[in-house]
Chain A
Amino acid sequence: MSEPVLDADRLTKAYGRTIALRGVSLTVSPGEAVGLLGPNGAGKTTTVKILTGLVRPSSGTARLFGLPATDPAARTRLGYLPELFRFPDWMTGAQVVSFHAELAGVSPADRRARVAEVLEMVGLGSRGGDRVGGYSKGMSQRLGLAQAIVGRPELLLLDEPTSALDPVGRRDVRGLVSALKAEGVAVVLNSHMLGEVERVCDRVVVIDKGHVKFTGTLDDLTNEGPTLHVTVGRTDSDLAPALVEFGRVQVDGAQEVVVTLGPPWDDVPDEAAEQIAAAIVRGPWGLRRLDVRHASLEDAFVAMVSGGDR
């Protein structure tokens, strides 16, 4: 197995009496896309800042490419888009990217062509000569992405990369991140846009109250079986036992029943739906409506951060 490009081990961070992180561990392999999820104040941005060397952990270690994150040499192959950023408004977009290219070690001979290339990639090809002061919020975010990728990073940390973008812009960024990932760039995506994480990432890490509450694939996160939402004519105490063989049954009021399918029915939800419908029709309850719903990342995320640990 190849060495991880990012390895964080039991990171903690306290700001005075406020504890932001309580032992966060995280590894990212080359070419892997990992989504950082969590509610506001969960500790995601603090984690990202420790990984970039902006913030020093109270304890624990953060390593990039095998080197401590605070070592400048560790950041030669890192691209980073901060959550909150501003670029000098007296510079043009091309000057900003060129400045970052120089800092990232892009050779003077390559710099001009590379700057033009990344501006084109983020959709600012025709606006690179404009002063940043005249950029919209969305353009600034595209510029932020351009400076993050100009040094041809092997690890890209993106902190809310699409928060200021319209749907078209979000789609463009998703496409760009997917293309970089296809080229072997590892991506850590800190985003509130769950759909974005769902489309781009191989793996998610859910952080809540400074703890890692879940780490695994999206399938692992959403593997709670599909649910059947049933409306019946009436409910009674015999209804739940009649359906319990299909999974967890929750009678919700006088007419609503939710069955969370368990094995083996969770692999064949349509067949389970037929069997449940038949069972209800055989009994005294009367079937009015039955829907099969698959758990989304959002459902799983909300359940996780508002419920207990998994």
Chain B
Amino acid sequence: MRLPIVRATLGEALGRKIVLWGWIASAVLVVLFGIAFFFLYPQMARQSRTQVAESMLLGGVLTILGLYVGSFLAAFLAIMLAAGSVSSEADSGVLQAVVVRPLPRWRWYVERWAGLVGMSVAYVVVMTLAMLLVARLISGYEPGSLLGLLALLAAQVTFLVTVGMLISCRLSSVATGVVLVLYFGIAWLGGFIGWIGNLAHRAELSTIGTVVSLVAPSDELWKAASSYAIPQGLPVGLGTDGPLGLPFLSTLQPSPWFIGWALLLTVGLLALGMGAFSRRDL
């Protein structure tokens, strides 16, 4: 069998307006990003030596901010795709004729998951490459590790799709969307609290941030990705760890333990979803 559910999932998503509008919004974002970069960088580069360093800093921040917005859009695309991935198929009656075929339920679930993850990953990779290309053409911007950046951004959307499908086994599409957005928001808030804790040297706030990142790792995955986006030579201390810290990026290399935990959590939630779907009455 040649992955018919994956093909159906991709075909369905391409036919849905959510993907079309996602691409349109993304194209607008890339164009705006390019315009901002086009005007900012040459002007900065013409100035004095210290100001060149400043322009490099601002160029880097602008690129990472663009990537942050891109990852935000990718996260929302993953949330929207996952929200109705099971419940809307069941409620509308699409699933009933499919799952009575001689196909184990877990197989349907995994193929659907693979299709949605494939789309989300393709989206975040294309968006990221487009913005990095713009930054490179204008300023010669080079991320510290393109592979690490893309892998962790992919891990973020994969995690969100996995959580979304699990919730969609139990809740309606709208309820799943709401819960996922709240979950994503909690992850962001946890990251922000942790950043404040680091900045103010308040251990309890840092601990809260760490705990939230373990339960809802999407924000921490972005920060880990951002550490690979920072080019060599950008001033240290720009991220959450330093005095110039910005709440949306990190200059620290991600902990292998955290990455391992995030992957383990993703696999565990996928397995839970497979079990929940297999037991669900349709």
Contacts and interface: CB of A to CB of B under 8 A. Distances in A.
Which of A55, A85, A147 lies at the interface centre, i.e. has the most chain B CB atoms within 10 A of its CB? A85
26 contacts: A49-B281, A49-B282, A53-B99, A53-B100, A54-B99, A54-B100, A56-B281, A73-B102, A75-B101, A80-B96, A81-B97, A82-B93, A82-B97, A85-B93, A86-B93, A88-B8, A88-B11, A88-B12, A88-B94, A90-B11, A99-B4, A100-B97, A103-B4, A104-B101, A104-B102, A105-B102
Interface in B80-107: 92-94, 96-104
A99 B8 contact: yes
Contacts of A80: 96-97, 100
Interface magnitude class on chain A: 20 to 34
Interface string B1-20: 11010001001100110000
Contacts of B97: 80-82, 85, 87, 100, 144, 147-148
**Most interface-central of B92, B101, B279, B282 (chain A CB within 10 A):** B101
Contacts of B282: 49, 54-55
A71 B163 CA distance: 27
Interface string A48-65: 010011111000000000
A76 interface: yes
A55 B278 CA distance: 10
Interface of A: 49, 52-56, 72-73, 75-76, 78, 80-82, 84-88, 90-91, 99-100, 102-105, 144, 147-148, 151
Interface of B: 1-2, 4, 8, 11-12, 15-16, 92-94, 96-104, 279, 281-282
Q: Is the interface of A mostly helix, strand, loop or mixed?
A: loop
Contacts of A91: 11
Given A54-B281, A88-B8, A72 B102 contact: yes
Nearest to A159: B96
Contacts, number: 72
B11 to A, nearest CB: 7
Contacts of B12: 88, 90
A86 B92 contact: yes
A103 B94 contact: no
Q: Interface centre among B4, B96, B98, B282, by most A CB within 10 Å? A: B96
A163 B41 CA distance: 67
A82 B11 contact: no
A49 B281 CA distance: 9
Contacts of A105: 102
A9 B279 CA distance: 21
B98 A103 contact: yes
The 5 closest A-B pairs by CB, nearest first: A90-B15, A103-B101, A85-B93, A82-B96, A76-B102
B203 to A, nearest CB: 47
B170 to A, nearest CB: 15
Nearest to A73: B102
Contacts of B103: 72, 103
Contacts of A104: 101-102
A195 B68 CA distance: 65
A102 B1 contact: yes
B104 A84 contact: no
A56 B279 contact: yes
Contacts of B1: 102
B109 to A, nearest CB: 13
A198 B40 CA distance: 80
Contacts of B8: 88, 99
B182 to A, nearest CB: 27
B281 A55 contact: yes
Contacts of A81: 97
Nearest to A80: B100
A90 B18 CA distance: 14
Nearest to A52: B100
A75 B96 contact: no
B279 A102 contact: no
A82 B99 CA distance: 11
Given A49-B282, A86-B92, A99-B8, 13 more contacts: A72-B104, A73-B102, A78-B100, A80-B97, A82-B93, A84-B93, A85-B94, A88-B8, A90-B11, A90-B16, A102-B2, A103-B98, A151-B101
Contacts of B93: 82, 84-86
Contact of B94 (A73, A87, A148): A87
A75 B92 contact: no
